[in-house]
Amino acid sequence: MARGARCQAVQTHRLKTASNRAPARPWRRSGRRPAEAVPDQLSKPVRQHRPTLRSRPRGPPHREKKRPITYDALRLTPCLASINYAPLLDGYSVLLQSTHLIHDTRRVHATTSVSLPRIRFGCGLYDRVIPLYSGEVKPEGIDFEFIPNDDPRDIFDKMGARQEYDAAEMSSSEFIAGTSAGTSPFVAIPVFMSRVFRHGFITVNKNAGIRTPKDLEGKRVGVALYTMTAAVFMRGLVENEYGVDMSKIRWIQGAIEKAGAHGSPTVPPLLKKVNIENNTSRKSLSQMLSSGEIDALFGALMPEGFGTDPNIVRLFPNFVAVEQDYYRRTKIFPIMHLVAIRKAIYEKHPAVAASLFRALCESKRLALKKMAYTGALHNMLPWLPAHLEERDAVMGDNPWPYGIEPNRPTLDALVKYSHQQGITDRQMPVDSLFVPVPAGS
Question: Measured between alpha carbons, how far is 161 from 346 in angstroms, rounded to an integer?
Answer: 18
In the chain, the number of structural domains is 3
pLDDT above 70: residue 74:
no
pLDDT above 50: residue 237:
yes
Burial category of 124 from C-beta neighbours within 10 Å (exposed 0-12, middle 13-18, buried 19 and up) = middle
Residue 441 domain-assigned (yes or no): no
Are 282 and 321 found together in one domain?
yes
What DSSP state is assigned to residue 270?
P
143, 200, 228, 238, 310 from 289: Cα distances, Å: 47, 16, 20, 20, 12
Are 259 and 340 found together in one domain?
no
First CA to last CA distance, the chain: 111
The answer to whether 30 touches 57, Cβ cutoff 8 Å, is: no
What pLDDT is stored for residue 108 in this prediction? 35
Question: pLDDT tier at 129 (50, 70, 90 boundaries)?
Answer: very high
What pLDDT is stored for residue 162 in this prediction? 87
Domain termination site, one of 304, 330, 356: 330
pLDDT above 90: residue 65:
no
What pLDDT is stored for residue 321 in this prediction? 98
Angle formed at CA 358 by CA 155 and CA 136, multiple of 5 degrees: 80
Average pLDDT over residues 33-58: 50
User: Is 428 or 74 the better-scoring residue by pLDDT?
Assistant: 428
Question: Measured between alpha carbons, how far is 284 from 253 in angstroms, rounded to an integer?
Answer: 10
Are 254 and 351 found together in one domain?
no
Residue 37 domain-assigned (yes or no): no
What pLDDT is stored for residue 86 in this prediction? 44
Are 250 and 306 found together in one domain?
yes
SS3 for 88? Answer: helix
Q: What is the CA radius of gyration of the chain?
A: 39
CA dihedral 19, 25, 26, 30 (to 10 degrees): -160
User: Is 50 or 114 the better-scoring residue by pLDDT?
Assistant: 114
Are 212 and 319 found together in one domain?
yes
Average pLDDT over residues 291-304: 96
Question: Measured between alpha carbons, how far is 131 from 366 in angstroms, rounded to an integer?
Answer: 7
The answer to whether 279 touches 259, Cβ cutoff 8 Å, is: yes
What pLDDT is stored for residue 441 in this prediction? 76
Strands (DSSP E) contained in 319-425 are 335-342
What pLDDT is stored for residue 384 in this prediction? 96
Are 179 and 206 found together in one domain?
no
SS3 for 204? Answer: strand
Are 360 and 415 found together in one domain?
yes
What pLDDT is stored for residue 105 in this prediction? 31
Give the lowest-confidence range in 71-85, 118-132, 344-358, 373-387: 71-85
Write out pLDDT tens, residues 146-201. 999 999 999 999 998 889 999 999 999 999 999 999 999 999 999 999 999 999 99
Question: pLDDT tier at 288 (50, 70, 90 boundaries)?
Answer: very high
Residue 2 domain-assigned (yes or no): no
Give the lowest-confidence range in 64-68, 125-129, 226-230, 296-300: 64-68
Residue 33 domain-assigned (yes or no): no
Residue 250 domain-assigned (yes or no): yes
Domain termination site, one of 284, 306, 330: 330
In the chain, the percentage of residues whose pLDDT exceeds 90 is 68
With b meaning 16 or more CB within 10 Å and e meaning fewer, what string describes 250-282? ebbbbbbeeeeebbebebbeebeebeeeebeee
Are 84 and 231 found together in one domain?
no
What pLDDT is stored for residue 259 in this prediction? 86
Are 293 and 348 found together in one domain?
no
SS3 for 122? Answer: strand
Which CATH number does the domain housing residue 340 bear? 3.40.190.10
What pLDDT is stored for residue 397 in this prediction? 87
Quickly list DSSP for 146-194.
EEE-S-HHHHHHIIIII--SSEEEEEHHHHHHHHHHT---EEEEEEEEE
What pLDDT is stored for residue 11 in this prediction? 56
Give the lowest-confidence range in 133-147, 263-277, 287-301, 363-377: 263-277
Residue 111 domain-assigned (yes or no): no
The domain in which residue 169 lies consists of: 118-195+334-364+400-433
pLDDT above 80: residue 337:
yes
User: Is 54 or 343 the better-scoring residue by pLDDT?
Assistant: 343
Are 310 and 323 found together in one domain?
yes
φ and ψ of 51, to 5 deg: -65, 145
Strands of 296-298's sheet in order across: 276-278, 250-253, 220-223, 296-298, 202-205, 312-314
What pLDDT is stored for residue 111 in this prediction? 43
Are 188 and 282 found together in one domain?
no
What pLDDT is stored for residue 2 in this prediction? 52
Residue 410 domain-assigned (yes or no): yes
Question: pLDDT tier at 61 (50, 70, 90 boundaries)?
Answer: low
What pLDDT is stored for residue 260 in this prediction? 78
Write out pLDDT tens, residues 388-412. 999 999 999 899 999 999 999 999 9
Average pLDDT over residues 89-95: 40
Give the lowest-confidence range in 44-53, 153-162, 247-256, 312-321: 44-53
What pLDDT is stored for residue 188 in this prediction? 99
What pLDDT is stored for residue 178 in this prediction? 94
Average pLDDT of the chain?
A: 83
Residue 389 domain-assigned (yes or no): no
The answer to whether 100 touches 130, Cβ cutoff 8 Å, is: no
CA atoms within 13 A on the CB side of 180: 24
Are 178 and 226 found together in one domain?
no
Quickly list DSSP for 15-79.
HHHHHHSPPP-THHHHT---GGGS--GGGSPP------TT---SSS--PPPP----HHHHHH-GG
